[in-house]
Structure formats: structure tokens, C-alpha cells
Chain A
Amino acid sequence: MSVDQVAVLGVGMHPWGKWGRNFVEYGVAAAQDALADAGIDWRDVGFVAGADTMRNGYPGYVAGATFAQALGWTGIPVTSAYGACASGAMALDAARQRILSGMCDVALVVGADTTPKGFLKPNKGERGDDPDWLRFRLLGMTNPAYFAMWARRRIDLFGATSDDFAQVKIKNARHGLNNPYARYRKEVTAEDIAKSPTVSSPLRLLDICATSDGGAAVVLTSMEYARKHLSTSAGSADPLVKVAAISTVTPTFPNTILEMPNFATDSAAGIAKPDRGFKQAIGDSAYAQAGLGPDDVDVAEVYDLSTALELDWYEDLGFCGVGEAEKILRDGVTTLGGRLPVNLSGGLACFGEAVPAQALAQVCELTWQLRGTAQGAQAENAKVGITANQGLFGHGSSVILTR
């Protein structure tokens, strides 16, 4: 089931940091950069999709309209999407559908966030029927506690060590050293990581991503529009990068992996669990849309909420067999210069998480990688890139870009 392609004509980001300003500002800056990159005037955009933030009041719940108003109303239709960390992919998919259905030629997708310090936590109020509220109240289960449970599984099943996890952070810190959009641009040593305090065993502070402010935007167009546009303007979109897949899958019952914010897994008694788990299905769906497989991938941006989680993605996306992630990491396969560099942006290790912007930031980075114009670490001659990400409450997110 190969799906028709759309073009990525422009991308833009606001640097990640702890700026403490209104998220709209970051989104608008990213949108203006993406439009300039595409060589497209805002008044020529036919659809706008916003990725929502839950931490910035009403404007955050209607992000599409918030950004459209800030850029200046032009009367175009709008949507706002929320899928936690996968919000950006959902908004991107809405834009793709508009274009593929012929309802518009040019769509703008924007996500931005301003995050408070410390653990991500639920909004205030007594909400005894909200599992996200209850997991904090009844268990004290923070996001890092879930990451730690998964990391412990790697230790128990595959003999992973804290030093393996540290190597992920060291690699990503090096990758992000010269990325102007990254928040942390500093080498990290194994000693730094070992000295950082344990948050949730076995994960230390430097194994876990921070929460950040940031914004990212993508301009998608129909293939026909892109070809015409590029023949008459000197845009920077050469070579032209295309969206070959956007996966926004949900789990299949019974989902037997513990997921945020749940208290329990589904039960496999009575109904057999699916052959492929949820995280594997995220990549499977993207590969199927693109008509490509793991062997075709040259570069990847995966969601390293924790160092150990990056290793899970290697296996879930088929970069190696189950239990082999530590080996391909140690062999340098996923490091710049390796066969399949992962998180050349520096990943969440260097960015920190700005929830609704993150899936779009992955697309921005891969666009630069495929064009050969990354300002930081640049893969050599990459033709196919894949992103992977997952939002709590069952949101998959994977995008495949080609050139």
C-alpha cells in the first residue's frame, strides 16, 4: 500500500531552550523561517495545522488558529491536533491529507511549547477519573519511572549496562555540539553521567531528557506545485525532499507493554497478543506506506526520552535484531560516519522535550540531512530518513522522508 507523496518545501525552527516566553512567539518564528525556506508568502498558504500544547491555556488547545491569527488571518481552514508527543505527526498528516485530496496545494504545520521546570505533571484540579492524574496521585509514577521500567527490562533481558546507556548520551551530545537549534551543546563524559544523581533506577539525571521551550514548522505542498515553484524561484529546497510516509497508528488489543499513563497492560488471556508490538507497528506502518524497509534507511531521528529508549527504537524500527541494539551502538553503526547514524540533531539529549514541536523538529532535521545542509553533524549522501516517536495514551508517530 504505497501512498502518494507530498513535498517538504520548507522547514524552520526556533532554538530550543528555557526562554520562558509565550509559545506563540516560537511557533511564529519557526513558521516564518519555514515559509522563507520554501520561498512562499503566507498569503499563498491554503491550510494551517497546529500541534497543541496542554500547558499554555486555551491558545494552546487551539494552536492552529492561534498561529493563524498571529501570522495574520487570511480566511484559510484550520485544524489543531493533539496526540501528546505525537501531535506534530498528526498535524502533519492532516496537512498531507488536505493536499492529497486536492483541497489545497500549500499547507503550513506548526508546533511550539513553553514548559515549566521539573517533571511534566497533570494540570491542576481533582480528576479522579483521569488516569494521568491518578497515576501521580495513587502511585507517584512520573514519566521517568516508566522510562526506568523499560530500561530495567533491557538490563534483565539483554544484559544491557548503565555504561551502554551512557554511550547513547555521549554519542548524542557529540552529534548536537554544533547544532544551533539545540539547547545543550556540550560534550558529556561517562563520568559526568555516573556522577549525576539517580532519578529512577537505573536511570540517572543525564539519562533522561529535560523539558524545553521550542518551536518547529514545516511547509508541505503537492508534488506538482513544488516542481512548478522550484522551476520559477530560487528556493533552497534542492534537492527536493518528499514525505513518503506518516504513521499515526494506535495499539492493537491486547497491548501487553506497559504504556504511560496506564496502571496495567491489557490482558493476553482470552485474546492472543498481536505478533508485532505497538512500537514495532509504528515503524511497520510507515515502511508499508513508503514501500521501503529498514535496509533502505540512511539516517534516523528517534525519540530518546531516555538513553535506554533510543536502544529500544533501533530494534523496533528493524535496524537490528531484538537484543542487538547495544552491539550496533558499540560498533558505531548509529554514530556519525556509521552505516545508519541516529539522532544527528543531538536528539532529545541535546534538545529537551518541547512536546508539540518535537515530531516536527525531527522532520526539520531529516530534511536538512537529506538536502545535505545540516548546520551541525551531517550524514553523507543520505537519501532516506525515518523518524520515530510515541505519545502517551497510545499515539504512534513515524515519518519517512526521501529525496
Chain B
Amino acid sequence: MAKAKLPAVEGWFTMSPSETTPRPQGADPVALIGTRCAESGTYFFPPERVMSRAPGFAGSELVEVELSTRGRLWSYTDAQYQPPEPFEAPTDPYEPFCLAAVELETEQLVVLGQVVAGVGIDDLVVGMEMELVLGTLYEDEDTEYTMWKWRPVAPATPGGEA
């Protein structure tokens, strides 16, 4: 029997095809869920649900939105040592992975995420275009816990921006 798929965190990303935000052909049906402060136009991720954090806009409505699924790599690193609890290593023995901070143009914010397996530090260049994909954070006996991850849209160009 196939394992159930559950998001590793509730309400921060969607795994369903979007009705409002068309995605590039063949792209994963995943998008980060944010909120937009209707009056100031600023965005929040993770989504603010209680009140706008923009000073002076406490009474503004918060509108749920899907964030851009592509952006530019702002910075990156890797985790050569297994992070401590409550991190759940997906593999035993531990395999290092990369982490990306991606700048979204429309929202003008930077969002972190793990980079998909198989992409190494030398494959990344600041400024390259990255896209959001659905990945697995870890699994237990019955469930696969899904998580957003970043992936380069195209291979890095050595010595320059992609």
C-alpha cells in the first residue's frame, strides 16, 4: 500500500494544482502560502493569520496568496554535519544536503528551503534562477512527510550568473 503523503507543516504550502496562479508547464503542483496585507501591499511568509505586522496597518485585511514559485538565489550553503534534533535525517547514514535562500521578485522577500538531493554546492551560483518543487523531508512506516524544496531551473554557468 502506498504511504500517505502529509505536509511536514500545516498551512505553509499547498500540494494541489492552483486555480488562481498558473504554473509553468510540467512544474510541481506546489506553492508557498503567504498572506498579503491588503492596505500596505506587503507580504508575509510564513503566513500571518492574526494581524498585519506592517506598523500602522493593524486593521488591514490579510489575504491568503500563493507566492511566486520561481526566484533568484540570494545565498546558499550546505549542512556537512547532521543537524541536531528535531531534525529527522531522511537517510542513514546521513547525506549532506544544500540549503538555499531565494529572492522572490514580486514579493521582495527571501525564503529559505532545502535544495533537492543530487545538487551539490558547486552546482549553485548566487543569482541563478531557482524553482520550487515538492520533496520528501522524511518518512516513517506509514507516512511520507512532504516539504517544499528549491531546485536550479538550469545548470549553473561556471564563473558567472546563470
Interface residue ranges, A against B (CB under 8 Å): 118-119, 121-122, 124, 126, 128, 131, 133-142, 145, 148-150, 152-153, 156, 197-203, 253-254, 256, 258, 263-271
Contact = CB atoms under 8 A, between A and B. Distances in A.
A356 B121 CA distance: 34
Nearest to A137: B86
A267 B75 contact: no
Contacts of B137: 138
Contacts of B99: 139-141, 145, 149, 200
Contacts of A156: 75, 126-127
Contacts of A268: 42, 108-109
Nearest to A153: B75
The 6 tightest CB contacts between A and B, nearest first, are A270-B41, A148-B77, A270-B42, A140-B83, A121-B84, A267-B43
A161 to B, nearest CB: 15
Given A121-B85, A138-B137, A271-B54, A201 B80 contact: yes
B112 A142 contact: no
B11 to A, nearest CB: 11
B6 to A, nearest CB: 13
A144 to B, nearest CB: 8
Contact of B87 (A136, A199, A263): A136
B137 to A, nearest CB: 7
20 contacts: A126-B86, A131-B46, A135-B112, A137-B86, A152-B126, A156-B75, A156-B126, A197-B80, A200-B78, A201-B77, A258-B101, A258-B110, A263-B46, A265-B110, A266-B53, A269-B43, A269-B106, A270-B40, A270-B54, A271-B40
B75 A152 contact: yes
A149 B81 contact: no
Given A140-B99, A200-B78, A267 B108 contact: yes
Interface string B90-132: 0000000101010000111111111000000100001100000
Contacts of B81: 119, 199
Interface string B44-77: 1110000001110000000000000000001111
Nearest to B76: A152
A142 B99 CA distance: 11
Contacts of A134: 9
Contacts of A153: 74-75, 126
B147 interface: yes
A131 B113 CA distance: 14
B42 A267 contact: yes
A139 B9 CA distance: 11
Given A150-B75, A270-B41, A265 B9 contact: no
Looking at B76, B101, B113, the one whose CB has the most chain A CB atoms below 10 A away is B101
B153 interface: no
Contacts of B147: 138
A384 B68 CA distance: 48
Contacts of A119: 81, 83-84
A197 to B, nearest CB: 7
Given A148-B77, A269-B108, A270-B41, 5 more contacts: A122-B86, A254-B42, A258-B74, A269-B106, A271-B54
B45 A263 contact: yes
B31 interface: no
A258 B78 CA distance: 16
A197 B79 CA distance: 12
B35 to A, nearest CB: 10
B71 to A, nearest CB: 11
Contacts of A150: 75
B77 A200 contact: yes
A192 B29 CA distance: 47
Nearest to B125: A156
B156 interface: no
B55 to A, nearest CB: 6
Contacts of B30: none
A153 to B, nearest CB: 5
B22 to A, nearest CB: 21
